[in-house]
Amino acid sequence: MNNVNVADLMMTKFVQVRDKDPLWEVVLKIAEDRETMLACIVDEANKLKGIITPKRLLTAVQISQFRTTRYPSLEWGEVLSSLTSKYAEDIMGPPIAVEPEQSIEYAINIMLAKGLYELPVVDKGGRVVGEINFFQIIVNWAERLRAEFDTTND
C-alpha cells in the first residue's frame, strides 16, 4: 500500500460524544451511525480526550459476567442499570489516534498493537477530523486487486 495515507481512506463521519454524556446516549449515537462502532470523546474544542471501543462498552455492562460461557445471558435490568448509571468518562480508553498524513501501514500497526478495529484521525491540533477502520483498508485492497486483474486480463 505504498504511498497510501490515512487521508486517502478515512471517513469524515464519526461518532463524537462528551465525557459527561450518559452511557445510554453513547449507545444510541453508535447505533444510529451504523458505520462505526467507535465513539470519540472530545472536549469543547473537538480535541480527542479518549475513545470507547465495543469491548469497553460490553465490559461496562458486565458482559464478562455471563451466567455460563456456552449460553450467555444478561438480565435487561442489569444492562439498563449499567447504561443509566455510567458516563462516557467512566469507561473511555486513552486517546489513541493517527494523523491524516501518516501511512496506512502505520495505522495498521497501531490497530494491531492496540487490538483496535478503528482509529480516530486527528489533525495537528489534536482535533478529530475522521476515522479509519480495517473495513476501509480491506475495501481499498479489493479495489486495487480488481484494477490489477483488469489490467492483466486486457
What pLDDT sits at residue 126?
Answer: 96
Q: Per-block average pLDDT, block size 10, for the chain (154 residues)?
A: 85 94 92 87 96 88 54 63 83 96 96 95 97 90 84 68
Q: Is 46 exposed, middle or buried (0-12, 13-18, 19+ CB in 10 A)?
A: middle
Torsion (CA) 55, 30, 27, 133 in degrees, nearest 10: 10
Domain encompassing residue 47: 6-153
What pLDDT sits at residue 77?
Answer: 67
Q: Say if 12 falls within a structural domain.
A: yes
Q: Say if 137 falls within a structural domain.
A: yes
Q: Say if 1 falls within a structural domain.
A: no
Q: Say if 31 falls within a structural domain.
A: yes
What pLDDT sits at residue 5?
Answer: 93
Q: Say if 123 falls within a structural domain.
A: yes
**CATH at residue 62:** 3.10.580.10
What pLDDT sits at residue 64?
Answer: 47
What pLDDT sits at residue 2?
Answer: 63
Number of domains present in the structure of the chain: 1
CA distances from 111 to 19, 87, 103, 115, 133 (A): 23, 25, 13, 6, 9
Q: Say if 105 falls within a structural domain.
A: yes
Q: Say if 25 falls within a structural domain.
A: yes
The separation between CA 44 and the C-alpha centre of its own chain, rounded to angstroms, equals 20
What pLDDT sits at residue 62?
Answer: 66
Q: Say if 23 falls within a structural domain.
A: yes
